[in-house]
């Protein structure tokens, strides 16, 4: 397994990966939510991880299409083709067929629909020699969808608007100590930040296809529930529903370590790697796991809570309410506490010493 690690509270790269990951999650999720919630059936969208899937468009929500327009071809075929285009940037239909193992006829049918939908574009390139026809290549249409990514952390809220290619169009960071505020208070802050960031991108809210939120804590992304987060009062919270009700836009919530993992998979050390782990160390400790190219969540959706694995029963108190968690020894605030002690402190007293 490959190990990617990000550390340091002020890391701009890590923050950008958080935001890109949160935004990327919505590219696939928002259409699935919109269609499934309106009873259009699972034959169009299947429940898959937060990879690139069928997307909603900026000026027409998915449910505004006629049923004859919505039912296209099997989801897996369309996903595989979109993913091949995303990975390659520019690619021909023949190359897509070779990469995905699909027939040329299937590739032609799917790409024709995606072009009509406005999801992808045709681009002509010059032939390698002086003669011959120009090659017709396919690429994602950057303006096919816009989404907002939000990262919640202990001392700031960060926002970014991205297009279909995950290019950041505008971003905003708001220093704020969230503390143990209520989910409603956090929602108020997020609403203001989202509206400001969208306006800064010179877009209207009606052009936003989805909102993705990355937050530390125990998050069930499929149900949209935050069971616990150090950022606001304890108790099950439907932060996703609060945001969705404000904007009437499909909203997706995910553990922040998973959003970084998704960004690493698409842009960083995880590109082309099917199995790897990302460990984040900031005001908490997180982990994202990719197995066979998919985010691993465990049976209950919170399988990779590495920071709250107990390594010393009855040890240091942790913010989650347990004692002896990894986070209670190596998170940045604990390292700073140890450094402020006259002796320099000992993160793991007694460890590594001979009896």
pLDDT by residue, tens only, the chain of 355 residues: 333 343 333 455 555 555 655 565 554 443 333 323 323 222 222 222 333 333 333 333 333 333 233 333 445 678 788 888 988 889 999 999 999 999 999 999 999 989 998 999 999 776 655 566 778 999 999 999 899 999 998 888 999 999 988 888 999 999 888 876 777 888 999 999 999 999 999 999 999 999 999 998 888 888 888 888 888 765 667 888 999 999 999 998 998 889 888 888 887 888 889 999 999 888 889 999 999 988 888 777 676 788 989 999 999 998 888 999 999 998 888 888 877 776 655 555 555 444 4
How confident is the model over 193-248, as pLDDT tens digits? Answer: 999 999 999 999 999 999 999 998 888 888 888 888 888 765 667 888 999 999 99
Residues 93 and 103 sit within 8 Å (Cβ to Cβ): no
The two three-digit tokens of residue 348, written as one number: 């793991």
Angle, in degrees to the nearest 10, between helices 104-117 and 75-88: 80
Q: What is the CATH number of domain 145-263?
A: 3.30.420.40
The vertex-47 CA angle with 41 and 51, nearest 5°, equals 130
pTM of the model: 0.74
What are the residues facing 137 on neighbouring strands? 123
145-263 and 271-340 share one fold: yes
Yes or no: say if 14 and 289 are a contact pair by the CB < 8 Å rule.
no
Written as one string, the DSSP assignment of 13-33 is HHHHHHHHHHHHHHHHHHHHH
Q: Where are the alpha helices (DSSP H) in 74-151?
A: 75-88, 93-100, 104-117
Burial bucket for residue 253 (CB in 10 Å: 0-12, 13-18, 19+): buried
Rg over CA atoms, the chain: 22
Q: What span, in angstroms and rounded, lies between the C-alpha atoms of 193 and 149?
A: 11
Q: What is the pLDDT of residue 159?
A: 94
Of 215, 143, 210, 158, the closest CA to residue 183 belongs to 215
Q: Could you tell me if 216 and 286 are in contact, meaning their C-beta atoms sit under 8 angstroms apart?
A: yes
Residue with tokens 């990894």: 326
DSSP letter (8 states) at residue 63: G
Length of the chain measured in residues = 355
| d(C-alpha 70, C-alpha 287), whole Å | 37
Residue 165's pLDDT is what? 83
- Tokens linked to 242: 């609060």
Which H or E run includes 262?
A: helix 256-267
Q: Is residue 143 helix, strand or coil?
A: helix
Which superfamily does 271-340 belong to? Answer: ATPase, nucleotide binding domain (3.30.420.40)
Dihedral Cα 37, 41, 47, 48, nearest 10 deg: -120
Q: DSSP character for 207?
A: G
User: What are the residue boundaries of the structural domains of the chain, listed by start?
Assistant: 59-142, 145-263, 271-340
Which residues are CB-contacts of 4 (< 8 A; sequence separation ≥ 6)? Answer: 264, 268, 269, 270, 276, 277, 278, 279
Looking at domain 59-142, its CATH architecture is Orthogonal Bundle (1.10)
Using alpha carbons, select from 252, 247, 259, 261 the residue that is nearest to residue 221. Answer: 252
Angle, in degrees to the nearest 10, between helices 93-100 and 104-117: 120
Give the span between the Cα atoms of 269 and 116, in whole angstroms: 34
Question: Pick from 261, 353, 239: which is nearest to 306 by CA?
Answer: 261
């Amino acid at each position: 397994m490959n190990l990617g690690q990000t550390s340091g509270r002020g890391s701009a790269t890590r923050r950008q990966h958080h935001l890109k990951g949160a935004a990327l999650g919505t590219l696939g999720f928002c259409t699935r939510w919109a269609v499934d919630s309106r009873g259009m059936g699972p034959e169009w969208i299947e429940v898959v991880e937060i990879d690139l899937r069928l997307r909603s468009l900026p000026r027409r929500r998915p449910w505004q299409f006629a049923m004859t327009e919505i039912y296209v071809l099997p989801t897996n075929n369309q996903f595989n083709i979109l993913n091949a285009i995303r990975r390659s940037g520019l690619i021909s239909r023949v190359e897509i067929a070779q990469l995905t193992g699909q027939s040329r006829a299937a590739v032609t049918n799917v790409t024709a629909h995606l072009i009509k939908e406005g999801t992808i574009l045709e681009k002509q390139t010059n032939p390698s020699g002086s003669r011959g026809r120009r090659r017709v290549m396919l690429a994602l249409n950057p303006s096919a969808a816009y989404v907002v990514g939000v990262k919640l952390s202990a001392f700031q809220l960060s926002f970014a608007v991205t297009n279909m290619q995950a290019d950041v169009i505008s971003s905003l960071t708001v220093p704020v100590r969230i503390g143990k505020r209520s989910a409603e208070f956090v929602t108020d802050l997020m609403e203001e930040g989202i509206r400001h960031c969208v306006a800064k991108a010179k877009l209207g809210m009606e052009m936003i296809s989805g909102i993705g939120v990355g937050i530390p804590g125990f998050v069930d992304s499929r149900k949209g529930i935050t069971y616990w987060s150090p950022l606001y009062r304890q108790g099950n919270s439907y932060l996703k529903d609060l945001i969705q009700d404000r904007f009437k836009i499909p909203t997706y919530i995910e553990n922040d370590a998973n959003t970084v993992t998704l960004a690493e998979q698409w842009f960083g050390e995880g590109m082309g790697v099917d199995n790897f782990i990302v460990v984040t160390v900031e005001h908490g400790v997180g982990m994202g796991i990719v197995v066979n190219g998919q985010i691993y969540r465990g049976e209950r959706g919170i399988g990779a809570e590495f920071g709250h694995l107990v390594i010393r029963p009855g040890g240091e108190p942790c913010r989650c309410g347990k004692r002896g968690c990894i986070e209670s020894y190596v998170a940045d605030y604990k390292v700073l506490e140890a450094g402020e002690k006259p002796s320099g402190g000992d993160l793991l007293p007694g460890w590594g010493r001979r009896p």
